[in-house]
Amino acid sequence: MDAILGEISRRLTGQWIQIAVSGVLFLGVGWVALTLGQRHALDHGLLLSRVDTLVAGIDGTTSLIVRAVLLTALGYLLGMTAHMTGSMLRRLWTDRWPPPLHWIEKGVVLLRRAYFGRRWPDRTRELPARYLPARATRVADRIRLAHERVDAEYGAHLGLLWPRLWLMLTPDERGPIELSRAGLDSAAVLAVWGTALVGLGWWWWPAALIGLAVVLVARHRAGTAVGALADLAESTVDSQQRVLADRFGVPVIDGRISREDFRQINDRLAKGA
């Protein structure tokens, strides 16, 4: 138990430091933006002189400690705000949009389908409708496609099956999935910081360029993470057929559970809902 509590404490401490540092870094960029402004955006001489003035204004060790504590606390608050906003952004990335945003989502889906049809006309005609864009983002569609592919292959409802299947996995089997999920979460938070930096571009134009680069990196990381997450979810269903069969008391034929048995499993898991 002591080892478990120690590990939890270590992780929480590391996360606290990461959140605080990211907030302090943003505060630093904000201070630079307000100090230089648009007219002196690249004037490093002015920046150094303002830094010297700021350092000279610190009187004694106590003053330095108090300012450091206040700066860290403010950075932590900003970091927590970014993480909470990132959680909301991740939901918009990966799921259906809630009312009243669902009307916007419908329009975005129509635009994505039109673009998909123009770019890949042959694939549009050949693919079943369930494989065409149906969500506002590519990330959300990749997750949805994992559900559709599992249903098409086995007749299994991944949304119902996954929580039970997760409990059957060993810690080693969960590791890559947890890593991919953490990558998606961090990408969402990174996108929030990037957007905030773009906003600072109103006062200091280099911040907008930096923010745009950060947003693009976050978008790439999100796509990579969710692609790995969806592939791992599908692979887990593929490779755990015998485990599922043993737990639900159904036979395995040619290394897989039949569609009829999976439909019965779906009914059991839905519990009449």
Whole-angstrom distance, CA of residue 172 vs CA of residue 251 = 27
Q: How far apart are CA 52 and CA 44, in angstroms?
A: 12
Residue 39 lies in a domain: yes
- Measured over the CA atoms of residue 95, residue 101, residue 106 and residue 111, the dihedral's sign is negative
What contacts 171, CB < 8 A, 6 or more positions away? none
In which domain, by residue range, is 263 found?
A: 1-94+137-270
**Across the strands, what pairs with 23?**
none
Confidence label for 4 from pLDDT (cuts 50, 70 and 90): very low
Average pLDDT, the chain: 86
pLDDT at 9 over 70: no
pLDDT band at 222 (very low <50, low <70, confident <90, very high): very high
Mean pLDDT calculated for residue range 174-182: 93
Confidence check: pLDDT of 126 > 90: no
Q: pLDDT confidence of 11, banded at 50, 70, 90?
A: low
Task: Give the span between the Cα atoms of 20 and 13, in whole angstroms.
Answer: 11
More confident: 67 or 23: 23
Domain count, the chain: 1
Inside any domain, residue 125: no
List Cβ<8 Å contacts ≥24 apart for 191-200.
191/86, 191/89, 191/215, 191/218, 191/219, 191/222, 192/82, 192/85, 192/86, 192/89, 193/22, 193/26, 193/82, 194/218, 196/26, 196/82, 197/26, 197/29, 200/29, 200/30, 200/33
Q: Is residue 230 part of a domain?
A: yes
Structural domain contains residue 209: yes
Q: Has residue 247 been placed in a domain?
A: yes
**pLDDT over 50 at 95, yes or no:** yes
Asked whether the beta carbons of 94 and 227 are under 8 A apart, the reply is no
The encoded tokens of residue 208 equal: 């907008």
Quick one: pLDDT at residue 12? 47
pLDDT value of residue 14: 65
Q: Name residue 253's beta-bridge partners.
A: 256
Residue with tokens 């057929």: 241
Residue 148 has pLDDT above 70, yes or no: yes
Do residues 133 and 109 make contact, with C-beta atoms less than 8 angstroms apart? yes
Q: Which residues are 256's β-sheet partners?
A: 253
Q: Return the higher-pLDDT residue of 54 and 114.
A: 114
Once rounded to an integer, what is the mean pLDDT over residues 244-259?
Answer: 87
Does residue 128 lie within any of the structural domains? no
> Of the candidates 270, 226, 269, which has an alpha carbon nearest to the alpha carbon of residue 135?
226
What pLDDT, on a 0 to 100 scale, did the predictor assign at position 8? 43
| Predicted confidence band of residue 69 (pLDDT cuts 50, 70, 90) | confident
Q: What angle do CA 94, 99, 100 make, to 5 degrees?
A: 115
Side chain identity at residue 128, one-letter code: P
Amino acid letter, residue 129: A
- pLDDT recorded at residue 122: 73
Q: Which amino acid is at 187?
A: A
* pLDDT for 273: 60
Eight-state DSSP code of residue 131 = G
